Structure 1
Amino acid sequence: MPSLRIACFHLNQLGDLVFSLPALLALGRGFPKAQIISVARPPHRELLLLSGLVHNVVERPRGQLISKLKMVSALRSMKLDLAVLFSTSLGTAILAWMAHPREKAGFGKRGLAYRAEKIGPPSVANNLRLVEALGCRVEKRDYVGLVKLDESVRCRVRDLLMHAGIGESTPYAVISPAASGRRAIKEWTSEGFAAVAERLADDLDLVPVLVGTEADEVVAGLSEKIVDLRGKTSIIELAALLEGAHVFVGIDSGVMHLAAAVGTPVAALFGPTDPAITGPMGEGHKIVQSDVPCLACMKTSCREPLCMQRITPDAVIESVAMCVSEEKNV
């Protein structure tokens, strides 16, 4: 009898992908003879395959209709038994329907053989609720340790750091200021991050390493002490860079969750989002928040996000120092 073929349709953002890893683990244990296929964006392919949680990755292209039809054709040829939809988007639902699986599981209300209630934003808890609806037993409820790295990835990152003037024994901190384009409300000030970078170097003897996109150019230009590695790593190389860092400093973002997943202490700046729902998982992390009544409002836009604006560099550095001190004492 052929094994089950299960396709998992992931959300597009990095953090949401990390949120799905415990569910993939439970799915594999619940269906040990199944072939699990991830449908995900191309940059996430290597992370998923190295995790050992999936057998194959079908890349989900952006935009072009012809590319999407080719993807659907590839999925149809696999004769899927089950499609698991971590995404609630209409586009994902249409693609899953076109792939012709025997059954579908998701958070919707129609056309699903198995369904779960989605509570709040995408989260590990929501994804685990979905695989539990499939009858899977959940033994691990966090993503820590589920991002796997091999020595070739670590070697590439060591070479990158060497070319940037950071030797193997040089301690560094990774700074990630930006969120996805739709969630700019979560961002702190460029001046604040630049001030933190200066103090990482002067007070804590940590080289500040900046990661992110071109949108973070302002931060890079405000401090001469920043080593700018924006756009110079793949997702899996970014994971290796984070693994080697003494601490991560940044906002609620996919990069923050990736840092926590590889076991790096996180000093995370939170304002409109709730760390009880989307905070970093694992031990040794510190949450930095201001004292405003509208904290954790969960809004996606705000004319004057005081919750982030009132966070001070002093508060951030204090949390970073605590992370580093606790790491040394472990």
Structure 2
Amino acid sequence: MQRVLVIRIGRLGDTLLATPVIEALRQAFGPGVEIDFAASPGASAFILDLDKRVNRVFPIAHRSTPWRLHRVKRALERHSHQFPYDLVINLECGHECDDFIRFVEHDKFLGRPLVETQHRKERHCVDTEKSIYADFLGRDITREAGTSLKLKLDTQQLLVPAGVKYLVINPGFSGLGKAGYRSHRAWPESHWLRLVELVRKDSGWPVLVNGTAAEQTFFPGLLEAPGVHSLMGSSLPTLVQALSNAQCLVSVDTGTMHLAAALATPVVALFGPTNPQLTGPYSKKVASKVLVSGVDCQPCVKTAAQRKCTLNRCMTGLSPEMVYDACLQVVPA
């Protein structure tokens, strides 16, 4: 039996975009391959712990902390000496995890610091990560792998009756409400309200609104609209079940978008300042639709243009009618 450690220490979206390696490993070594992950604590570690294909998760907070001062890193080091890894795959592009090669007992190591891995704006970040292991696991195997989850979950009680079709929308994103943070990824609440109106008028579907508990204050009118049910502040298992049974998710660029794609739920993704070629939904099993308004300054993330932006044309230019039409295109007939 092959034993593998995958290193990807990031937010939930980053973790979900790393999941193609799981299926690639299972195709290369068989379903009995033992896959461990070094991942961020919180939602990233939690979702991997729920995945039936993952053996063990080492939640690494503060990845730059020296090994001798880091309890979980020391536990991983001891574990690897007792059960050496046949393969370690470092999917990080930064240098913070370069020292795993020194402390983790292994036979074969892929990724930094042995090779420099850099994201390119014209290539999806998943394809960049795949380039680390494609030659070793097989290019055909790697090419076919998409984001996926195989979760062990208890049934959660949802806000809509069993058998009723519904839509999930995700208007919030990380950073919303933080002091000094410009909400360039936001779609106006008036647009969300119009989308709900279109859905209710045309299909009659209820609409579930996802977000953190803190985000409720940003969308008061949306949460009070007819036919809307709030998922805000719900647990991750509840969100997983809601997405798994939904007709479609409409979301701005955030981790929930990648969660739906990994669960094989159709996605309509609204992109503004960020680059969908780099971080768009990446599923091989279900249709997704990425919408961009096509203004000349797009994408602008982390540029002077974004810092100076006051109109947010790239998001306001996406009409609710356009978004609803996209929903109808991706929802199974």
- CA 1:30/1:116 → structure 2, altered by over 3 Å: closer, same or farther? farther
C-alpha deviation, 1:176, in angstroms = 0.6
Name structure 1 gaps, 5 residues minimum: none
Match in the other structure for 2:103: 99
Name structure 2 gaps, 5 residues minimum: 176-180
Q: % of aligned pairs identical?
A: 25
Match in the other structure for 1:198: 197
- Letter of the structure 2 residue corresponding to residue 215 of structure 1: E
Match in the other structure for 1:173: 167
- CA 1:269/1:173 → structure 2, altered by over 3 Å: closer, same or farther? same
Q: How many residues align?
A: 310
- CA 1:243/1:143 → structure 2, altered by over 3 Å: closer, same or farther? farther
TM-score (norm 1): 0.80
Equivalent-residue separation in structure 2 for 1:66 and 1:119 (angstroms):
30
Match in the other structure for 1:318: 325
1:238 has 2:236 as partner: no
Equivalent-residue separation in structure 1 for 2:187 and 2:287 (angstroms):
22
Residue pairs, 1:243-322, within 5 angstroms: 243-280=244-281, 281-282=283-284, 283-299=286-302, 301-302=306-307, 303-304=309-310, 305-322=312-329
- Letter of the structure 1 residue corresponding to residue 330 of structure 2: C
C-alpha deviation, 1:140, in angstroms = 4.9
The counterpart of 1:85, out of the listed 74, 82, 90, is 90
Greater fraction helix: 1
SS in 2 for 1:231: coil
- CA 1:138/1:99 → structure 2, altered by over 3 Å: closer, same or farther? farther
- CA 1:204/1:273 → structure 2, altered by over 3 Å: closer, same or farther? same
1:109-159 CA deviation, whole Å, 9 max, x = no partner? xx42x5545434872111111112545444254665721234x43x11xx1
- Letter of the structure 2 residue corresponding to residue 231 of structure 1: G
- The answer to whether the Cα contact below 8 Å between 1:189 and 1:309 also exists between their aligned partners in 2 is yes
SS in 2 for 1:212: coil
- Letter of the structure 1 residue corresponding to residue 58 of structure 2: V
Equivalent-residue separation in structure 1 for 2:88 and 2:70 (angstroms):
17
The counterpart of 2:229, out of the listed 223, 227, 230, is 227
Equivalent-residue separation in structure 1 for 2:165 and 2:141 (angstroms):
35
C-alpha deviation, 1:203, in angstroms = 3.0
Equivalent-residue separation in structure 2 for 1:285 and 1:88 (angstroms):
26
Equivalent-residue separation in structure 2 for 1:34 and 1:320 (angstroms):
38
1:82-129 CA deviation, whole Å, 9 max, x = no partner? 5422223344335x25734446432x4xx42x5545434872111111
C-alpha deviation, 1:244, in angstroms = 0.5
SS in 1 for 2:18: helix
SS in 2 for 1:180: coil
Match in the other structure for 2:210: 211
SS in 2 for 1:124: helix
Residue pairs, 1:155-174, within 5 angstroms: 155-156=155-156, 159=157, 161=158, 164=159, 166-174=160-168
Equivalent-residue separation in structure 2 for 1:129 and 1:252 (angstroms):
24
C-alpha deviation, 1:261, in angstroms = 2.0
Equivalent-residue separation in structure 2 for 1:132 and 1:63 (angstroms):
26
- The answer to whether the Cα contact below 8 Å between 1:196 and 1:317 also exists between their aligned partners in 2 is yes
C-alpha deviation, 1:230, in angstroms = 1.2
Equivalent-residue separation in structure 1 for 2:225 and 2:144 (angstroms):
37
Equivalent-residue separation in structure 2 for 1:14 and 1:27 (angstroms):
21
TM-score (norm 2): 0.79
